[in-house]
Amino acid sequence: MDVTMASMAEPHYDREDLILVRWEARSEGGRVAYVIVNNVEKKNALPVEGRALLAEKMAEVSQEADLRCVVLTGAGTEAFIGGANIGQMSEFPDHVVAERGSKTTHHACDSIRRVPVPVIARIDGYCLGAGMEIATACDMRVASTRSRFGMPEVKYGVPSGMEACLIPRLTGWGKAMELVFTGEMISAEEAYHFTYIEKLVAPDELDAAIERWVHSICMAGPRAIRIQKELCRDWEQMSIADAVQAGVRAVGRAHTSDEPKRLMTAWRERQKAKRLQRKS
């Protein structure tokens, strides 16, 4: 039986402690939200109420006007999110309750995709089942070399549903089919090879890798980042011709504010200063 999807007696959950949010004011401007799945004793497995709370917290942080970026991670070093709670799922009385539980996974993933700025998955340890769906819903993923990935639902009599449908867009169909049909875990190296994760680093380099991405995002135009996030979601549903035209309109929207002129002028001034420094 898989380590983090093992059957367990239903524990008592303090709902508010399952998902923590830490805010960081950035010197570049704006704020970054660190959303932390906090169920260390159960390898950050998320019961129904935990997935519902994650959706609520993501909706809340999305309302922050100065939000520049969200980093989603798990507490401790054993797991990002070790899946759903099998003990709870095994007690579902009928298919109606089972479907309702599955919808909470979708709502959690959808809330991540609706965040108006980039969401980065910081993965350290097990990333399984609902956890892998949640990571897939993020915009970018960086993982430590000790991480492991898998979609073990079929081993427990249910298919991988909801946002598992996004996995082929990252890995290709063949690797996605292997994951959902075998239920076997793959290493972080294999996940990187099949482009499920964008960056793979040693555990002690994980936070530095996250910080490089966060810094770059915070240095960019905040309005441009929000327009880009919206455009990326539109691309998923558009033909190439429509996506090109959406991009043209997005560039036009960006120029309805002074942000492009300010940032381009600042860049030109920096280049001018560098040239003068080289001459002196």
Query: What size, in residues, is the chain?
Result: 280
- Parent domain of 274: 221-279
The stretch 133-144 carries a mean pLDDT of 98
Q: Identify the domain boundary among 175, 193, 218.
A: 218
Tell me: pLDDT of 8 over 60. Answer: no
Q: Where does the pLDDT of residue 156 fall: very low under 50, low under 70, confident under 90, or very high at 90 and above?
A: confident
- Output the domain CATH number for residue 40: 3.90.226.10
- Same domain flag for 213 and 226: no
- Output the domain CATH number for residue 253: 1.10.12
pLDDT of residue 90: 65
pLDDT of residue 133: 97
The stretch 262-270 carries a mean pLDDT of 90
CA end-to-end distance (rounded Å), the chain: 69
Least confident of 177-181, 201-205, 276-280: 276-280
pLDDT of residue 260: 86
Q: Which helix (H) or strand (E) holds 231?
A: helix 222-235
- Same domain flag for 22 and 129: yes
The stretch 226-232 carries a mean pLDDT of 96
pLDDT of residue 26: 96
pLDDT of residue 246: 92
pLDDT of residue 15: 60
Predicted TM-score (pTM) of this structure = 0.89
Q: Give the three-state DSSP class for 32.
A: strand
Euclidean distance between CA atoms 240 and 202, whole angstroms:
38
Q: Identify the domain boundary among 175, 200, 218.
A: 218
- Torsion angle of the four alpha carbons 7, 11, 16, 17, in this order, in degrees rounded to the nearest 10: -80
45 in a domain, yes or no?
yes
pLDDT of residue 234: 93
Least confident of 63-67, 83-87, 146-150, 215-219: 83-87
4 in a domain, yes or no?
no
The stretch 228-236 carries a mean pLDDT of 94
Measured CA distances, 71 to 120, 156, 201, 220 (Å): 5, 30, 16, 17
Q: Where does the pLDDT of residue 89 fall: very low under 50, low under 70, confident under 90, or very high at 90 and above?
A: low
Structure tokens at 239: 């033909």
- Same domain flag for 56 and 122: yes
Q: Where does the pLDDT of residue 13 fall: very low under 50, low under 70, confident under 90, or very high at 90 and above?
A: very low
Q: Would you list the DSSP string of 129-151?
A: THHHHHHHHSSEEEEETT-EEE-
Q: Identify the domain boundary among 218, 249, 271.
A: 218
Least confident of 13-27, 140-154, 209-223, 230-244: 13-27
Euclidean distance between CA atoms 124 and 126, whole angstroms:
7
Tell me: pLDDT of 169 over 50. Answer: yes
Tell me: pLDDT of 2 over 90. Answer: no
76-85, 92-101, 126-135: range with highest mean pLDDT: 126-135
Across the chain, mean pLDDT equals 90
Question: Cα-flanking dihedrals φ and ψ of residue 170, to 5°?
Answer: -95, -45
- Under a CB-based contact definition with an 8 Å cutoff, are residues 188 and 147 in contact? yes
Euclidean distance between CA atoms 40 and 187, whole angstroms:
21
pLDDT of residue 16: 65
Q: Where are any strands of DSSP class E within the chain?
A: 19-25, 31-37, 67-74, 79-81, 119-123, 126-128, 140-144, 148-150, 186-187, 199-201
- Same domain flag for 208 and 84: yes
Q: Where does the pLDDT of residue 200 fall: very low under 50, low under 70, confident under 90, or very high at 90 and above?
A: very high
Measured CA distances, 194 to 167, 232, 260 (Å): 11, 21, 36
